[in-house]
Amino acid sequence: MTTVAVLDDYLHRADTFADWESLGPDVTVTFFHDPMGEEELASHLADADVLVLMRERSRFPRSLLQRLPNLRLVVTTGMRNASLDVDYLHERGVTFCGTGYAGQRGPGVSGTVEVAWALILSAVKRVGIEDRALRAGRWQTGFPGELAGATLGLIGLGNLGSQMVGPARAFGMDVIAWSANLTDERCAEVGVRRVELDELLRTADVVSIHLILGRRSRGLLGAAELARMKPTAVLVNTSRGPIVDEEALVAALRDGPIAAAGLDVYDTEPLPAGHPLLGLDRAILSPHLGYVSEPSFRLMYGQVVEDIDAFLAGSPIRVI
């Protein structure tokens, strides 16, 4: 008997998004819906042969993986998972496989870019603030901003960053960009102007982050960087929480210097009850929705089942 554990099925839908029964009668699949800490994970997964991870919702450091003696296969949705000790999996001989992901769903912009623009519009047009005011009996509490003629500063101009440019042009925005290795040739290809980070922070009306979390990007924007931004500027992060110093961001939203932030990602997810960001009107918050859609989940979980089936047949696919 092979035991499969499907983790972090927040919406209780993973069982409907793939043909798990096709794995056969010798495979038992258990779905876990709630976030768990290391001790809970170790207890619930002690007998698991296969782990199925939804992106980076749960952390699996070496200390936890060492407590899972039966583990033979880990499948992550997507082809990258920074919350997992991949080196240890390789050392131990545990097979590690991935899937396609939300950004590969076809023409148009990705779900992450859609969420980024939803946050930009909500912050600039004061949607969240005015919604709460209206429900409290107040009508028009401040002036919305305008995107026409404003400057969008993109930190990162890869696949997702470049998808931000088309909507920005449609709104009549100027677009500038920076990343550590960004070239003039890449900017010319996308149709934006390359600037240094300092200029981007000083001149952009909206700063949107589109970087992979790594050694160079962790803590990229701290108190000093946020202080360079315009007092009317909006910061949007749909990449990874730790790219921005969260404590510095809370202070910047509470006391200035920036006007608002639209956030889909956080240092700790789910965002803990009582977190300071939850009490700030100028923080527009969404619960890491960038890659969450029914078509994407059907794609990912369908390929998870394919990965497990291929592994059990002795010919693993999409090996990372």
Annotated catalytic residue, options 240, 246, 282, 306: 240
17 close to 33: Cβ distance less than 8 angstroms: no
DSSP β-bridge partners for residue 2? 27
Annotated catalytic residue, options 126, 210, 288, 306: 288
How far is residue 164's CA from residue 160's CA, in Å, rounded to a whole number?
7
What single-letter amino acid sits at 73? L
181 close to 205: Cβ distance less than 8 angstroms: no
Q: Residue 136 — φ and ψ, nearest 5°?
A: -90, 5
> Which of 200, 256, 197, 196 has the alpha carbon at shortest distance from 223?
256
Q: Does residue 21 have an active-site annotation?
A: no
Annotated catalytic residue, options 225, 269, 282, 306: 269
Mark 102-135 as b/e (b = at least 16 C-beta within 10 Å): bbeeeeebbbbbbbbbbbbbbbbebebbbeebee
Q: What angle do CA 203, 289, 237 make, to 5 degrees?
A: 20
Residue 105: both structure tokens together: 């769903």
Q: Does residue 216 have an active-site annotation?
A: no
Q: Residue 102 — φ and ψ, nearest 5°?
A: -60, -35
Catalytic residues: 240, 269, 288
